[in-house]
Structure 1
Amino acid sequence: MLSSSLFAAIVVSLGTGQVVSQSCPSYSSYSQSRHEPYSTGAYALAYQRPAPGCRTFNSTGVEDAILRIKNQTHDPDLSRLFENTFPNTLDTAIKWRGVAANNSEEELAFIITGDIDAMWIRDSANQVAPYRSILKSKTDDIASVFRGTINLQARYLILSPYCNSFLPPPESGLKPGPNGATYSVKPSYDHNVVFTCNFELDDFGGFLQLSHDYYTQTGDVDFFGRFQWLQAVQSIVAAADAMRAPTYGPDGAWIPPVYSFQSQTMTSMGTLGNNGMNYPVNFTGMVRSPFRPSDDAAIYDFQIPANMLLARYLDATSAIVERLPNAPKGLAAQMRDMAGEIRAGIEHWGVVTTPGGQKIYAYEVDGFGGQNLMDDANIPSLLSAPRLGYLDANDTVYQNTRGWVLSRNNPWWCAGPVINAVGSPHIKPGAAWPMAAIMRAMTSDDDLEIINAIKEVVQSTDGFGLIHESVNSFDAGQWTRSWFGWGNAVFGQMIMEFAERKPHILQESFQPFFIAKY
């Protein structure tokens, strides 16, 4: 991501009657200091929630869940880390809530990624997703956050489907955050709307997944037919289909890509090669993703995890489209057909053989035989494939892939005495991402593996009690980003799920020494 900017001084949260005062500190600054009271465990984790009057949204359901989980949790440091992280999106990241200028019933929510005053489609979907577990009805207080996020994402995806992060809507009255980067992008975009324009396929899947979460939890199908959701789905399908085109036609003629990107940058991961078009691809049925979920440029454009996510949720949300009387004829069938073609492409081109003879999923391929054997901490990842709903965790190819990813065969596996987890070329070798350790726990059914992964996350916060973007696997005092909303959200989601799936895990000690259970 880009350099940090300050959190809003004033935030109006409609529907809650809440106004965040000008006297509230910037959370970008607040999160860089440790605040009392400290937890009573060995790691003395700070209390990092803003004062109630400085929180950007208050939810009774979330506060009730925090109390319930704290009462179930034996370890004081784990309890504090959950208390800080689960509400972090609501506490800090809902920069503005309101309604559309042309429709007072169309709720909007502008959710910043944390220390950057812009809304990423993928990040905002993941930041809201953990509250799925407490969403039971369209009348719940948290339901308006889901609707507002989906509606604003829909607007952005209609205006600029190839872009990934966006500036505040004009209704907010918020001043756009600074962005000094210089880009040359095709198709062109409105600089008053777009913050960055990296085409990242997982944005499409993230939008559809969040939509599916809201639909399955509330049954509120009418919502999807009232505003711009159907137009956004059409925009996604059209853009995805255009990005399936190969580099060469049947006669060998070059097919110019619909998207290109060049940037003045100090890193090769910040721009696309081949004059912004990236490198040639064959037709596979999959959708190109020139940029990864990390915002880094791909080596090969067919990113397997992003295609997994899109295939799963094109199919799942086609059921919503089918129920809408105002849906364009044939749209649901088109979504299902595309999902099937993407899945077939993944299984044909994305399953490769390692030097040791195992069948695993590659991270990226080009359809010509080029394959990138790695995994990246950012979600969707190969490690997260069962969490995407693409396959069962017991699938043989997935289990082979998981074992490969969590080993030194993966060039971005970071091992050390502090934390052992997948990293990312977005930072550097040796910088493990706690989010990947969290995903390791969430994709495991083995109690010992889960406990060890959580223990490493708990000891990786350097006493701050928040999930960092990355941590030196040998030194917990070396980390990036004090305020990483996405990582906080995934940790909170993990604990909520274990409270249901494996409640005994919350009765374990995660201390560097033994603490007797109650």
Structure 2
Amino acid sequence: MLLRGGGTLLLAAGSLATYAAGQRCQSYTSYSQSRHQPYSEGVYELAYQRPDPACRTFNSSLVEDAILRMKNQTTDPDLFRLFENTFPNTLDAAIKWRGVAANNSDEELAFIITGDIDAMWIRDSANQIAPYRTILKSKDDDIASVFRGAINLQARYLIISPYCNAFLPPPESGMRPGPNGASYIVTPPYDRNIVFTCNFELDDFGGFLQLSHDYYTQTGDVDFFGKFQWIQAVQSILRASEDLRRATYGPDGEWIRPAYTFQSQTMTSFGTLGNNGMNSPVNYTGMVRSPFRPSDDAAIYDFQIPANMMLSRYLAATAAIMEQLPNAPKGLAQQMRDMAAEIRDAVDHWGIVAAPGGQRIYAYEVDGFGGQNLMDDANIPSLLSAPSLGFVSADDPVYKATRAFVLSRQNPWYCAGPVLNAVGSPHIRPGAAWPMAAIMRAMTADDDAEITQAVKEVLSSTDRYGLIHESVSSFDAGQWTRSWFGWGNAVFGQMMMELAERKPHILKQSFQPFFIERDGE
């Protein structure tokens, strides 16, 4: 089963035929559509969804050790099974190719597909390997090469096409590219043999910088960042960000041509940009425009607050790397810090608005003219995720008020029901809650009861497949989209590793329901 009920299922752009050298293995896109034994011993009877070791795309002793430790830290068989399936999922099935650059055999590369789409999203790939930072300790660890390979390949893509978001395999891989057949009109133009889609999403910049920060923080390997193209990628990010900070009109009122435009033939208004590909006008705020959201949907107003939070946070954090590189241009680290501070000030000035009840909250999007979109979306970065991004404390009054708004009927994309109470997204439909948002709720909560309830709901939402779906009907766990959603699996693994550190007693609880209805019962 791929999809039951409403919603959209994204199909693979190419065939994931064989991914184990010398052995024919079933594609994980197909594998994830069935429930495999042995089932967990809990009431949900969750399937075992790890491919045979010979068919896994990367094997890590550190990850296997972490799974064994988690088995000893958990009591509930369904909870452990979901972790056992999701935490290693990126390594098991999404590391489509690893190798080195054609012009430098020391430059590691890793092509990481998003899941059931055979392309590498900058944002998704960063999030997919982010959970492994919890076990990364040294540049010599087996998983360190995956971090370096992803950072190096992302850097290449960000230099070639900084306004694009998803990419095809590099020539070094020898893989046959599967170009996207969709028709786009984009400025600046891009190479369709390199780029899969070119929706500019600001969180791609934040994702690259966060991944860089994670690798450096865990390993202390500062030399790596000065060896290849990381400095040039940061310069590309800064140039594009400056271009996208410009207002629609200059001081004298003259129209300023935007740096990026996008038009496509689509059945939905969220699949293209209005106003001939330019979207609505914006005033100068100090923030960076993001015409598309982390969901790949078009924005209503271009200054997306969560993405600007993320960029500010990680520009400041990675400036500490840049200042240690002897080959970095003079003043580049300070330029990063200055932009980070200016964006933070702009978020505080323009992004904090009055809610209908009068409380001060973060808007999801603004335009600098007074336009504001009061909502939140399940995709990360979200307003809900602001503490997880490190932008603001969970105890901050504005965040607390925002959180209350996001998790209420005031948020038009909050979905409530007997299965899952979580934020959804216009990317699917009303009533389709995203487990990823319930996971983020648990990650940003301190109250044990709230965390426990969120985890219980996620466990009940997999339809016994034992993987995190993209969306699930809040009233029927049998209606969901995407059997294989790599990003969602990664976030669940990350949540579990974080709970093992800050709330280990929660993992010792039973998450079994008193009663679960079965087909025919």
**TM-score, normalising length: structure 1:** 0.97
AA at the equivalent of 2:376: D
What is the alpha-carbon distance in structure 2 between the residues aligned to residue 221 and residue 7 of structure 1?
38
Report the CA distance between 1:364 and its aligned residue: 0.0
* Within-5 A mapping of 1:138-217: 138-217=139-218
SS at match of 1:476: strand
Look up the match of 1:502.
503
After superposition, where does 1:286-435 map in structure 2 within 5 Å? 286-435=287-436
Q: Alignment partner of 1:297: what SS?
A: coil
| CA distance in structure 1 between the aligned counterparts of 2:362 and 2:468, rounded to whole angstroms | 28
Specify the alignment match of 2:16 in structure 1.
8
**What secondary structure is seen at the aligned counterpart in 2 of 1:352?**
strand
Partners of 2:45 and 2:514 in 1: CA distance: 14
* Cα distance in structure 1, aligned partners of 2:215 and 2:364: 29
Look up the match of 1:485: 486
SS class of match (1:386): helix
Aligned equivalents of 1:392, 1:266: Cα separation in 2: 40
Structure 1 residue 455: deviation in Å?
0.2
Matched residue type, 1:203: D
1:2 Cα deviation (Å)? Answer: 4.4
* Counterpart mapping for 1:98-117 below 5 A: 98-117=99-118
| Partner secondary structure for residue 449 of structure 1 | helix
Letter in 2 for 1:500: E
| Offset, 1:177 | 2.2
Kept after mapping to 2: 8 A contact 1:9/1:22: no
Counterpart secondary structure, 2:389: coil
Cα offset, 1:482, TM superposition: 0.2
Q: Which amino acid aligns with 1:116?
A: I
Q: 2: CA distance between counterparts of 1:373 and 1:7?
A: 40
Counterpart residue identity of residue 393, structure 1 = A
SS at 1:245 equivalent: coil
CA distance in 2, matches of 1:105, 1:400: 49
Q: Could you tell me how far apart the structure 2 residues matched to 1:465 and 1:484 are? A: 12
Equivalent residues, number: 507
C-alpha displacement at 1:4, in angstroms? 2.1
Cross-structure match for 1:16 = none
Matching residue of 1:58: 59
Pairwise CA distance, 1:70: 1.0
Aligned letter for 2:296? Answer: D
Deviation at 1:254, TM superposition (A): 0.3
Q: How big is each residue's C-alpha offset from its partner over 1:75-108, in whole Å with a ceiling of 9 and x where there is no partner? A: 0000100000000000000000000000000000
Runs of 5+ unmatched residues, structure 1:
12-18
The answer to whether the aligner puts 1:133 opposite 2:140 as a matched pair is no
CA distance in 2, matches of 1:6, 1:491: 27
Q: State the one-letter code of the partner of 1:111.
A: I
- What's the secondary structure of 1:200's corresponding residue? coil
| 1:82 maps onto 2:83 in alignment | yes
Query: Which letter does structure 2 place at the counterpart of 1:8?
Result: L
Distance between the aligned counterparts of 2:396 and 2:484, measured in 1?
A: 35
Matches of 2:74 and 2:446, distance apart in 1:
19
- Work out the CA distance in 1 between the residues paired with 2:431 and 2:266: 23
Residue 45 of structure 2 is matched in structure 1 by: 44
Q: What CA distance in whole angstroms lies between the structure 2 residues aligned with 1:57 and 1:468?
A: 22
For residues 361 and 464 of structure 2, the distance between their equivalents in structure 1, rounded to whole angstroms, comes to 38
Unaligned 5+ segments in structure 2 are 1-8, 516-521
The normalised TM-score by structure 2 is 0.96
What CA distance in whole angstroms lies between the structure 2 residues aligned with 1:169 and 1:238?
24
1:72: how far off?
1.1
CA contact (8 A) 1:21 1:53 kept: no
Supply the distance in 1 between the matched residues of 2:304 and 2:208 (Cα, whole angstroms): 18
CA distance in 1, matches of 2:21, 2:500: 32
In the alignment, residue 208 of structure 2 is paired with which amino acid?
A: F
Show structure 1 runs of 4+ deviating over 4 A.
none
1:50 positional shift = 0.2
Q: Aligned Cα RMSD in Å?
A: 1.0
Distance 2:300 2:16 in 1: 37
AA matched with 2:139: K
